[in-house]
Amino acid sequence: MYLLEHDAKALLAQHTIATPDGVMVENAHDIAGMQLPAGPWVVKGQITAGGRGKAGIIRKAQTREAAAEAAGAILGATVKGREVRAVRIEQQVRGAEEAYIALLLDAAEGAVRVIMSASGGMEIEAVPHDEIRSAVVPLAVDAIVKCMQELSAAWPGAKGRALREAGERLAHVFVEREAMLVEINPLFVRADGSWVAGDAKLVTDDNALPRQPEIKALLERRAAAYPEAAIKLEHGFDYVVVDPEGEIGLLTTGAGLSMMLIDELRQQGLKPYNFLDVRTGGMRGDPGRLVSVLKWMTEGKRIRVLLINIFAGITDLGEFSRLLVTALRDVRDLDVPVVARLVGNGLPEARPILEKGGVHLYTDLDAAVAEVRQILGRERGVAR
């Protein structure tokens, strides 16, 4: 789970990593009567993606009015397909130099890569190679701390000391919070040697949530900010709205096949609404999962057809079809034609059940997609 900057900073602060004073705001009108840290400020849109500066959702403000105006402009904007629902209003750090520090999981090595640079503030890819120090170390606090001490020795004075101190603390964050990535860029370093994390990027492991109660609590408290992880935690499967304007609701199982179907629909100029890996194996005779998904889809106001794609290696399609027809009957609000493409186990049994339930059944995926296109009144489109 890619944490919002505001949440990442709150977590870093618990590990005594200094961050500029800041507050989270969801409504620009609240700013007038709010207690803010001392100005001037930076107003920063909170989304789980990088490149926020380029996207125009990080703005400086000298006055409270300017901060409210910036927040008003940023809130509600859509960046990288995500709506900005909150801003962090943060005290500006001035008169400081910028450095860079990151730890990330090296998946191939099964180890941690530590990256440091005395230049920060830009994408690390843009920093000249000879200004970067990097090493791969075992996933253990002691080993990472030792590495931080060695790498930071490349820079004398305040910068080296700041990188070492921040690095030692980040070692604990990485191991104790079971992170996959933690990055501070820029790390502001003042002439007097004090330092503060200007930005914070933290990606944690959803699989570790059962033994990370604090991150789990954060997710439960602010489920709206992390809809995908919250659904996974509560329901045990994956659902992602990929295009709120989408016209095709997808009821699919399997992460790879679901992603591929979305890709192929888009290449044809069609607009899928969601990604879904419903995990039919976890349904265990209960239509609950399907009912939940269909209800969520009623939020997609432009959905005009439901496309089902299940490759049943193990799943029994007869049972799946019974549950599907029950769920479709339960969720009356999603009143759209249903096209299903099913292959595998129990297909002969599924056929009459679906026919009676008004579902158009195909065994060939391309034929099912062709019908979807016809329902939407689209000729085969061109790739974007």
Partner 1 sequence: MMNPRIDRATRVIVQGITGRAGRLHSRLMKEYGTNIVGGISPKMEMQEVNGMPLFPSCEAAVRATGATACVALVGAMQLLAAMREAVAAGIRYIVTPTEGMPVHDAVQALHLVRSAGVTWIGGSTPGMAVPGVAKLGFLPNDALLPGPLGLMSKSGTLSYESGYRLAQQGVGQSVWVGVGGDPVKGTRYADLIPFYAQDAQTEGLLIIGEIGGHEEEDFAAALTAQRFSKPVFALIAGSSAPEGVTMGHAGALVHGSHGSYASKRTALEAAGARVYATLDDMVRGVCGVLKKK
Residues forming the site for partner 1 (CB under 8 A): 1-2, 47-51, 80-82, 105, 107-108, 110-111, 123, 125, 138-139, 175, 178, 180-181, 201, 203, 205-208, 210-211, 228-229, 238, 240, 242, 253-260, 262-264, 266-267, 275, 277, 281, 311-314, 343-345, 365-366, 383
> How many other CB atoms sit within 10 Å of the CB of residue 1?
22
Distance, in Å, from the CA atom of 13 to the CA atom of 110, rounded to the nearest integer, reads 28
Using CA atoms, how far residue 167 sits from 49, 114, 207, in Å, is 23, 9, 25
Q: Which is nearer to partner 1, 119 or 345 (CB)?
A: 345
Nearest approach in angstroms of CB 319 to partner 1 is 14
Give the C-alpha separation, 144 to 112, whole Å: 8
Q: How far is the CB of 138 from partner 1 (least distance, A)?
A: 8
Rounded Cα distance, 170 and 162, in Å: 12
At residue 84, the 3 state secondary structure works out as coil
Shortest distance in whole angstroms from residue 239 CB to partner 1: 9
Determine the distance from the C-alpha atom of residue 170 to the mean position of all C-alpha atoms in its chain, rounded to a whole number.
22
**Tokens 């400081």 label which residue?**
96
- In which element (H, E) is residue 146 found? helix 141-152
CA nearest neighbour of 12 among 168, 216, 221: 168
> Shortest gap between Cβ of 49 and partner 1 (angstroms)?
4
Please, what is the minimum distance in Å from the beta carbon of residue 70 to partner 1? 22
Query: What is the number of other CB atoms lying within 10 angstroms of the CB of residue 60?
Result: 12
For residues 326 and 294, is the Cβ–Cβ distance under 8 A?
no
* Sequential DSSP letters for 265-277: HHHTT--B-EEEE
Q: Rounded to whole angstroms, how far apart are CA atoms 228 and 239?
A: 6
Tokens 């008169």 found at: 95
Q: How far is the CB of 382 from partner 1 (least distance, A)?
A: 13
179 and 209 Cβ atoms separated by less than 8 Å: no
If the CB atoms of residues 38 and 108 are measured against partner 1, the closer one turns out to be 108
Q: How far is the CB of 180 from partner 1 (least distance, A)?
A: 6
Smaller CB separation from partner 1, 52 or 159: 52
Instruction: With beta carbons less than 8 A apart as the criterion, state whether 284 and 249 touch.
Output: no
Min separation Cβ 61 and partner 1, Å:
26
**Looking at the DSSP assignment, which residues form a beta bridge with residue 117?**
100, 132
Instruction: Write down the least CB distance from residue 6 to partner 1, Å.
Output: 15
Shortest reach from residue 309's CB to partner 1, in Å: 9
Cβ-based nearer residue to partner 1, 264 or 371: 264
φ, ψ of residue 288 to 5 degrees: the values are -50, -45
Q: In sequence order, what are the beta bridge partners of 249?
A: 306
Cis peptide before 40 (omega within 30 of 0): yes
